């Protein structure tokens, strides 16, 4: 099974848990908003994927450089080097006006301060979309940096949110399962989730990786048993 074909590539293909979050992020895609963005939430909530899709849309819309680079620059905070801040500025100027920085909470406070300084100097030239698992207040991200971002919580989708996508994947793979059988398989993969305030959510969740695994496992089972 070619799993890549099921990974969302456009904003409309993403699955959100609430309409308000989708509307807020749609503003960046449509060009109505131009601000640094911080996405946080439990692992598996497609934060990096969402950030890259939004950044790609912003780059495509905003770029007027002769050095246009199609792929968004994605930087992992754990791999931060001395020249990384200069690389971000260079990206702003030469083809990627929106950069993604993953796992902001892994970044030392001195480097966070450097990013805040970049905002003061270069925010009119480019944007950064940060991702992290915890709320920034819980892990000591600098207030001066957080204040320069719109902070949005992304949670893994629920079974109900993901069901239409997974059912479509089953159909595309030629798997003739009933809705109840598909939901039963999905329930096996559901995980505990947390709300914005950190409290335990009453709704259990799925990740995109879970969805792909469900379909891949059933495809493999049917192939092995020649069903």
68 SS3 class = coil
Q: Rounded distance, CA 155 to CA 86, Å?
A: 32
How would you list the strands of the sheet with 127-132, edge to edge?
74-76, 98-102, 127-132, 36-40, 149-153
Q: Rounded distance, CA 32 to CA 11, Å?
A: 15
**Stretch 44-71: mean pLDDT:** 76
pLDDT band at residue 97 using 50, 70 and 90 as cut-offs: confident
Output 68 or 227, whichever has higher pLDDT: 227
Q: Rounded distance, CA 141 to CA 112, Å?
A: 8
pLDDT tens, position by position, 111-145: 999 999 999 998 888 889 999 998 898 888 999 99
> Of 108, 221, 201, nearest to 159 (Cα)?
201
pLDDT of residue 16: 92
pLDDT band at residue 22 using 50, 70 and 90 as cut-offs: very high
> Of 198, 206, 76, nearest to 131 (Cα)?
76
79 SS3 class = helix
Q: Rounded distance, CA 30 to CA 43, Å?
A: 27
Helices 84-93 & 109-122 angle (0-180, nearest 10)? 20
Range list for CATH 3.40.50.300 in the chain: 18-153
What is the CATH number assigned to the segment(s) 18-153?
A: 3.40.50.300
Q: Mean pLDDT, the chain, as a whole number?
A: 87
- Look up the pTM and report it: 0.88
């Amino acid at each position: 099974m070619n799993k890549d074909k099921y990974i969302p590539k456009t904003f409309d293909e993403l699955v959100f848990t609430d309409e308000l979050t989708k509307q807020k992020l749609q503003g960046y895609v449509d060009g109505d908003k131009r601000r640094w963005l911080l996405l946080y939430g439990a692992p598996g909530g497609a934060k990096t994927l969402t950030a890259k899709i939004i950044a790609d849309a912003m780059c495509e819309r905003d770029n007027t450089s002769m050095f246009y680079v199609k792929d968004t620059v994605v930087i992992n905070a754990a791999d931060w080097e001395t020249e990384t801040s200069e690389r971000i500025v260079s990206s702003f100027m030469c083809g990627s006006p929106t950069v993604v920085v993953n796992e902001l909470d892994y970044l030392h406070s001195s480097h966070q301060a450097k990013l805040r300084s970049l905002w003061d100097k270069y925010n009119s030239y480019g944007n950064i979309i940060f991702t992290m698992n915890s709320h920034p207040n819980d892990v000591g991200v600098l207030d001066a940096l957080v204040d320069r971002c719109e902070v949005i919580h992304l949670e893994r989708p629920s079974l109900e949110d993901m069901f239409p996508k997974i059912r479509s994947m089953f159909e595309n793979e030629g798997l003739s399962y009933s809705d109840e059988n598909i939901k039963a398989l999905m329930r096996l993969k559901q995980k505990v989730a947390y709300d914005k305030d950190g409290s335990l959510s009453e709704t259990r969740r799925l990740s995109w990786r879970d969805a792909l695994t469900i379909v891949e496992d059933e495809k493999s089972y049917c192939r092995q048993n020649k069903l």
